[in-house]
Amino acid sequence: MFRQLGLIAILGVLWIGTRCFAQETARDYTTRAVQLVKEGKVNEAMEAFSKAVDLAPNDPMYRKNRSAMYAHLKQWDKAVADYDVILKAQDNDQVTRFNRGFALFQLGKLDDAEQDFDAVIQAAPNDENALRYRAFVYIQKKEPEKAIDDLTKLITAHPDDPQNYITRAKVYAASGKWQEAIDDYGKVLEKNPKDPAALWAQALAYLRTNNAAKELEDLNALIEVNPRNLDAVKERAESYRRSGNLDKAIADYTQGIQLQPKDASLYAGRAFSELKKSDKANALTDFNKAIELAPDNSEYYAGRAYIFVTNGDAAKAVGDFNHLISLKPDNADLYVHRGDVYSKLKQWDQAGADYEKALSLDQNNYLALAGKGYVMGQKGNVRAGADLLQKALQQAKDPDHQEEIRVMLRDIGVGPQL
């Protein structure tokens, strides 16, 4: 910890002051403090370091020792107080200035931390620790371009250090610059093709760029490295399901269930895949299990409700959502799902009332807007219904939801404009 922070090494090192009585006594307390640290008696050690500071308040050496101990204990505010005193006496002490910047960063005082790192970099433009932590400050302050500049300087100085590429890639990803992130993760994978963190992050970046083939390539490599990587298995299952490769999706969900049998999302994912294959019997079994494990997830009830409705058990579907709404009366999505059930039953008034309720709770709920438009179209007001559906289609981001809305438009006799 001490070496990583660039702090004064207190273990096994004694500061030699002047030979007055107070300095000798302060040194004795420091000697005792070092021994107490070795014995793991940190509270007693801190008392001894503080006693040394009290006896020699004008000698920054003892305050440096105590500030190092404060930092080790993550008592950042107390460390900063010592750093302030040291820097008043030694304004050009760049090690202490960096340490204060680091402590301020830990306290969330980002502007103050930035000023300290700026000062260190002004004195030593290639100071790697200051550049790195100033980049972290910029990341926290949501100033990605400045963070990228500092990280690029570090990469230029050390092009073989994978950590700087990973950090810069994360900044690019957070800024939505997915290709730049992919390029940086690629640099890491050039050095270590089986780096699990880089493979995983790059796979997610490919997902964001809709490059399913590359995403799948990385997920395959990741699972080859560790077949028990549940996140990778689950994401590959989702990738297969999105692409319509349902048999492989089901196989991966099954593998995931073997790894984590209490993960409700795995049963639900398998159920939705089975449902797309019209295997309603197995889908119902999996939805039941998912609901047993996660009884408040409305999406699982929606899947089961579809099976109930198509099997002629609409009352069971409505009953599920009545129960959920009684528990969460302000959840707009529950009204949307119950409205969908009523729509399948062609009970337009009940469906319309549920969609209106959902919109009163969440005016930006585009599925409720689409449902309202669909009901209007079915009740004869096709033009107004189509307008609402087109508006919902423009707002929808999920490809599955977009396709659902297009189907609604076709059902009321209007082709989608998007």
Predicted TM-score (pTM) above 0.85: no
pLDDT classification of 296: cutoffs 50, 70, 90: confident
Residues 11-42: pLDDT tens digits?
A: 433 333 333 444 458 888 889 888 998 999 98
Q: What percentage of the chain reaches a pLDDT higher than 90?
A: 80
Residues 192-212: pLDDT tens digits?
A: 999 999 999 999 999 999 999
Candidates 248, 194, 199, 258; CA nearest to 228 is 258
Candidates 334, 330, 416, 328; CA nearest to 374 is 416
Residues 211-220: pLDDT tens digits?
A: 999 999 999 9
Cα separations in angstroms, 140 against 116, 200, 291, 332:
16, 23, 38, 33
pLDDT classification of 378: cutoffs 50, 70, 90: very high
143 class by beta-carbon count within 10 Å (0-12 exposed, 13-18 middle, 19+ buried): middle
Please give the average per-residue pLDDT across 305-333, as a whole number. 90
Q: Coil, strand, or helix at residue 203?
A: helix
Question: pLDDT value at position 417?
Answer: 59
Q: Which domains does the chain have, with CATH numbers?
A: 1-107 (1.25.40.10)
How does DSSP assign 131-159, residue by residue? HHHHHHHHHHTT-HHHHHHHHHHHHHH-T
Residues 86-121: pLDDT tens digits?
A: 999 999 999 999 999 999 999 999 999 999 999 999
Side chain identity, residue 109: K
pLDDT classification of 146: cutoffs 50, 70, 90: very high
Residues 218-241: pLDDT tens digits?
A: 999 999 999 999 999 999 999 999
